[in-house]
Amino acid sequence: MMKTNDNTLPEYNPHLIEPEIQKLWETNKSFEVTEDTTKEKDYCLSMFPYPSGKLHMGHVRNYTITDAISRFKRMNGKNVLHPIGWDSFGLPAENASMQNKKPPSEWTHTNIAYMKEQLKQMGFSYDWKRELATCTSDYYKWEQWFFIQMYKKNLVYRKNSIVNWDPVDKTVLANEQVIDGRGWRSNAIVERREIPQWFLRITNYAKEILEDTDTLNWPDEVKQMQKNWIGQSKGTEIIFIVENLDYKIKVFTTRPDTLFGATFIAIATEHPLVKYANQENINDFIEETKKTAINEAAIETLEKKGVFSGLYAIHPLSGDKIPIWIANFVLIEYGTGAIMSVPAHDERDHAFALKYNLPIVQVIKPKDNSNIDISSEAFTQKGILINSCTSDKYNNVSFDDMNFNEASDAINSLLIDNNLGAVKTNYRLRDWGVSRQRYWGCPIPMINCEQCGCIPEDEKNLPVLLPIDNINLDNGSPLKTMKEFYETNCHICKSKAIRETDTFDTFFESSWYFARYCSYDADVMLDDRVSYWMPVDQYVGGIEHAILHLLYSRFFQKAMADILPYTIDSLKEHILPREPFTSLLTQGMVLQGGVKMSKSKGNTVDPQELIDKYGADTVRLFTMFAAPPTISLEWSNTGVEGAYRFLKRFWRLATNHIKNVSLKNNNSTNIVHSKLNSKQKNIRNKIHSTLAKVIDDYNRRFTFNTVIAALMELTNALNKFEISDDIDTYIYDEGIKIIILSLSPITPHISSKLWEMMGNNPDITFIDFPVVDTEALEVDQLEIIVQVNGKLRAKILVTKDLEDDELKSTALENQNVKKFVTSTPKKIIIVKNKLVNIVV
């Protein structure tokens, strides 16, 4: 019999199998792809890693997911592009460099080499010929080029913007380097400093990005987050004139109906009007405000403070004099940097007015005329106007008794007619500041010429190479002191010029790498191969990228679609997609002891130990089994043993089967389902219902944990299945093969080896995925749940599609059901082939 233990069988040894199978893939070039118009393309992509040193569990999780999807799709006849690369510019390399005195370039390339080896050990099915690293000039040359194209299209501009300034180290700090308002190295209190920086006009695309969001097959929460981030609001821009100054303050409000309740104006400390302020304590206030961090979370949780500027604005319609305050909660970067404050109808303004004893004037009353006490609490709902009447200048027009819509329209019209305002759509989204005062990034290809001013570098001179030798980072970015880097000549007038020493935000690199994979070796930014592969069909990455990276990439894709067909010859006849990622799977965070496994903080678990001990298949299996991809997961090693045990158990089951049966006579086409006995029908039902579930989970749900659970159940069922004749053996063989192939996207090495041992070619990359025998899914008898008043009281076995009346009487005959049906049932609810609920 088959299931006796036989110690002559080869043991499961991943350390022998895995390198052997990986070698085979390499020899066969199994995962290299080219454009093949006869096959349906499928572009499956993981967010590329930052080469922090070694793989962590978050990487393993992310890359196993796309690997499983890629492998599944290849087995379904798709031409699958599955590339990988390195997001290799960024802050951690500079920090590491300061610690260990190795140049960032060397540190980065060492890390890439090590991590590449790890990825290969994991058996991920990448097309390695497309590998790219963003820190190489082959890559960043093209983003310098594209930046110049965007400059030509007026998508680039320069303006002053605020950064964190460490007054001791005399460097700009990233938000992450500011800890409780102090520089992480110097411990000095961080200041705000305004410096000129380059911006991309992402707001030009705000409307399109917003509107296209609904076309994406992305998680609803990500779409909602992006919509809220873009934050479209329709409202009114209103002009207040400053008394005794020829100065107009613009404010934006979504509640023009509350205009007559505006009792003061609040402006940001960086607002240009501040220089006219004439109160003594203002400088102290500004100095204090300068010492708060620049991130929104810090500003929003700050105690709301302000100071009177000594200036007054004239209310545009009432003509009243209202004070102008400088406030720490108004952001210069957001909107116009000034707001009209209506304490009666806005909570923040209300609190501020109470604190500084400013007037609170009610101009809205509830629709139902209920009593409200405006002195204790703001009334923020829309209602009916009161106390809203213009001055003589505008003929004492009253807006009282109007509702929100009527009042807004009437007030807007009056403002527009008198050039005091405009109806406007505002976005919360701000233009993208791409300048970084750092070394390890792509140089911004701009020069400052004494004669010609600030202009782009000549495209012929690209790339502007980042120097990588003799780098010392102790005093901030070395580019700022390297004459050989920044001294240059203007390519137009040949006079002396100074090169821009800032580098790009690293989100710049990650906003188009997905397109470069298609044209990995092109001598232009992109070529017509992108029109075959793009857009990415399935993108997978961490939920922490739900907004920034994914939004910037959408902007870039739209900008590329607008620019490249007019600038690159091979793209002239092409229409590029306007969205980069058709479907998105956001992977949950991998936590360690409840802490985010940050790429830059180094508190990572090294999966290498697990690979060394159990092999890649076990690590892949466990990572997928531990949880569905979307939820965050606190990593723990418990359970890896279980995954390993399962593989060993399945290996034994399969190898026993291989050894004990003659493969030649073993043919599942000998199975005629209708002629099987009930034991055989049952196990075939289990085999094929499992397969159906597996296919659905791979295809639609991406819940690999339930794929594995179902296959474990099937393995347990086969283990219990007693073989007594040839037909049993055929069915058993069918089950084993289905498990091997169903597992193969997740555990490709063991599957390949077992497949080979069953007499087949071990390269299963393009084997057809098994097909469900729908006949095997049919059953004669079903278990029906019987409830009384919604509580489970019995399970009854009945024939399929039993008539309702018969089902009712069968249910009511059940002894346990009888105990609870003490009176005539009021109602009996039947869910066909599933449930009976008797209501008494």
Binders of RNA in range 140-199 (CB under 7 A) = 163-164, 172-176, 197
Rounded to whole angstroms, what are the CA distances from 693 to 1, 76, 350, 701? 31, 16, 57, 10
Stretch that binds RNA, among 426-434, 462-470, 675-683, 730-738 (CB under 7 A): 426-434
What is the torsional sign of CA 302, 304, 310, 315? positive
Is 809 a binding residue for RNA by CB under 7 A? The answer is: no
Is 1 a binding residue for RNA by CB under 7 A? The answer is: no
- Nearest distance in Å: CB 224, RNA: 4
Stretch that binds RNA, among 27-35, 114-122, 699-707, 770-778 (CB under 7 A): 699-707
Count of chain residues binding RNA (CB under 7 A)? 108
First-to-final CA distance of the chain: 55
- For 552-616, give the DSSP string: HHHHHHHHHHHHGGGT-GGGTT----S-SEEEEEEEPPEEETTEE--TTT-----THHHHHHH-H
Place of tokens 């796309």: 66
Among 407, 643, 683, 754, binds RNA (CB under 7 A): 643
What is the torsional sign of CA 50, 56, 58, 59? positive
Query: Nearer Cβ to RNA, position 240 or 650?
Result: 650
Question: Residue 512 and residue 519: Cα distance in Å, rounded?
Answer: 11
DSSP designation for 458 = P
Query: Nearer Cβ to RNA, position 315 or 693?
Result: 693
- Nearest distance in Å: CB 721, RNA: 12
Is 334 a binding residue for RNA by CB under 7 A? The answer is: yes
831 forms bridges with which residues in the sheet? 835
Is 594 a binding residue for RNA by CB under 7 A? The answer is: yes
Is 699 a binding residue for RNA by CB under 7 A? The answer is: no
Biggest CA-to-CA distance, the chain: 106
Query: Nearer Cβ to RNA, position 402 or 711?
Result: 711
Binding positions for RNA, 19-78, rule CB under 7 A: 50
Is 92 a binding residue for RNA by CB under 7 A? The answer is: yes
CA atoms within a 13 Å half-sphere pointing along the CA-CB vector of 93: 25
Residues 287-326: x/- map of binding to RNA (CB under 7 A)?
-------xxxx--xx-------------------------
**Residue type for position 243:** E
Stretch that binds RNA, among 183-191, 371-379, 462-470, 542-550 (CB under 7 A): 542-550
Residue 678 tokens read as 């009930």
Residue 116 contacts residue 88 (beta carbons within 8 Å): no
Among 461, 567, 583, 600, binds RNA (CB under 7 A): 600
Is 827 a binding residue for RNA by CB under 7 A? The answer is: yes
- Nearest distance in Å: CB 766, RNA: 27
Binding positions for RNA, 572-591, rule CB under 7 A: 589, 591
Question: Residue 281 and residue 325: Cα distance in Å, rounded?
Answer: 12
Question: Residue 457 and residue 500: Cα distance in Å, rounded?
Answer: 10
Query: Nearer Cβ to RNA, position 30 or 706?
Result: 706
Is 220 a binding residue for RNA by CB under 7 A? The answer is: yes
Question: Residue 164 and residue 440: Cα distance in Å, rounded?
Answer: 18
Among 204, 705, 760, 833, binds RNA (CB under 7 A): 705
Stretch that binds RNA, among 443-451, 454-462, 502-510, 727-735 (CB under 7 A): 502-510
Residue 697 contacts residue 628 (beta carbons within 8 Å): no
Binding positions for RNA, 508-537, rule CB under 7 A: 510
Is 783 a binding residue for RNA by CB under 7 A? The answer is: yes
Is 120 a binding residue for RNA by CB under 7 A? The answer is: no
Is 708 a binding residue for RNA by CB under 7 A? The answer is: yes
Question: Residue 150 and residue 658: Cα distance in Å, rounded?
Answer: 63
- Nearest distance in Å: CB 85, RNA: 12
Is 718 a binding residue for RNA by CB under 7 A? The answer is: no
Residue 772 tokens read as 């469900």
To the nearest 10°, the Cα dihedral for 107, 112, 113, 116? 160
Among 497, 546, 687, 695, binds RNA (CB under 7 A): 546
Is 792 a binding residue for RNA by CB under 7 A? The answer is: yes
Query: Nearer Cβ to RNA, position 18 or 166?
Result: 166
Query: Nearer Cβ to RNA, position 120 or 648?
Result: 648
Binding positions for RNA, 618-637, rule CB under 7 A: 625-628, 631-634, 636
Binding positions for RNA, 230-249, rule CB under 7 A: 231
Residues 725-764: x/- map of binding to RNA (CB under 7 A)?
----------------------------------------
**Residue type for position 558:** K
- For 176-207, give the DSSP string: GGEETTEETTT-PBPEEEEEEEEEE-GGGGHH
Among 181, 310, 433, 565, binds RNA (CB under 7 A): 433
Is 209 a binding residue for RNA by CB under 7 A? The answer is: no
- Nearest distance in Å: CB 723, RNA: 16
Among 437, 557, 744, 752, binds RNA (CB under 7 A): 437
Question: Residue 693 and residue 687: Cα distance in Å, rounded?
Answer: 10
- Nearest distance in Å: CB 626, RNA: 4
- Nearest distance in Å: CB 769, RNA: 17
Q: Is 596 left (phi over 0), alpha (psi -120 to 50) or beta?
A: beta
Buried b vs exposed e over 104-143: b needs ≥16 C-beta within 10 Å? bbebbbebbeebbebbbbbbbbbbbebbbbbbebebbbbb
Among 527, 697, 728, 734, binds RNA (CB under 7 A): 697
Prior bond of 463 cis (ω within 30°): yes
Is 205 a binding residue for RNA by CB under 7 A? The answer is: no
In 3D space, the residue among 500, 495, 480 whose CA is nearest the CA of residue 449 turns out to be 495
Stretch that binds RNA, among 360-368, 375-383, 592-600, 735-743 (CB under 7 A): 592-600
- Nearest distance in Å: CB 450, RNA: 26
